[in-house]
Amino acid sequence: MNMFRKAMKGTSKMLAPAGGNQLATHIKPYTMMKALLIVYILSFFSCTQEVKKNNNISDNQKISQSIQENYTLLHTFHAKDGKVLGSAYVKYIDNREIFTSLLITKEEEGKQDTLYFIDSTRLNSKKGIDTEVVKEDFHGYKTVLKKGDYIVLVLVNEYGEGASDNLTIEWNYEEGLFELMKTP
């Protein structure tokens, strides 16, 4: 505040009326100080809002970039009308067939939305855990079939052989989400 007064010291005389009114000499620097303070506060808040917008964009770009760096595109799902439902990305382990992680995502309004994911032995939809597979003799998953609105996987053992029945992850048109197909 002292620095501001020193800076304003010469301006009070410049702002004073010709008659030398002492009240005007003291009011004008403080009025200017208030005006400068208001301008500073307004510019600070507008810059803060702009930084928040830019951070949201960069966070979303980081998520997108992380998926591209750590996962490989496996399949893009399409509805019966041709609309894109989402894309499946996998994290291969020892070759280009067996994977332990799967993400089905869709970018909407500039944000990545996770529609379904597999994290090792747990299969998860937007509702929660679809199922959990037995860890015994589990090595990963292998793609059996890829179609427009579903994908078929099989659990494989350490030799790459099928260790389970097929698992079908499909788009549920009624609920608008991906889920594990339930067999009767």
Select from 153, 160, 62, 75 the least CA-distant residue to 111.
62
Are the C-beta atoms of residues 117 and 100 closer than 8 Å to each other? no
Q: What pLDDT does 69 receive?
A: 76
Structure confidence by residue, pLDDT tens digits, 116-132: 999 989 999 999 999 99
Residue the block writes with tokens 């004008």:
28
Structure confidence by residue, pLDDT tens digits, 47-106: 444 444 444 444 555 566 777 678 899 999 999 999 999 999 999 987 778 999 999 999
User: C-alpha distances in angstroms, 60 versus 53, 121, 142?
Assistant: 11, 27, 29
Q: What pLDDT does 30 receive?
A: 64
Nearest-angstrom CA–CA distance, 128 and 133:
15
Q: Is the pLDDT of residue 147 over 80?
A: yes
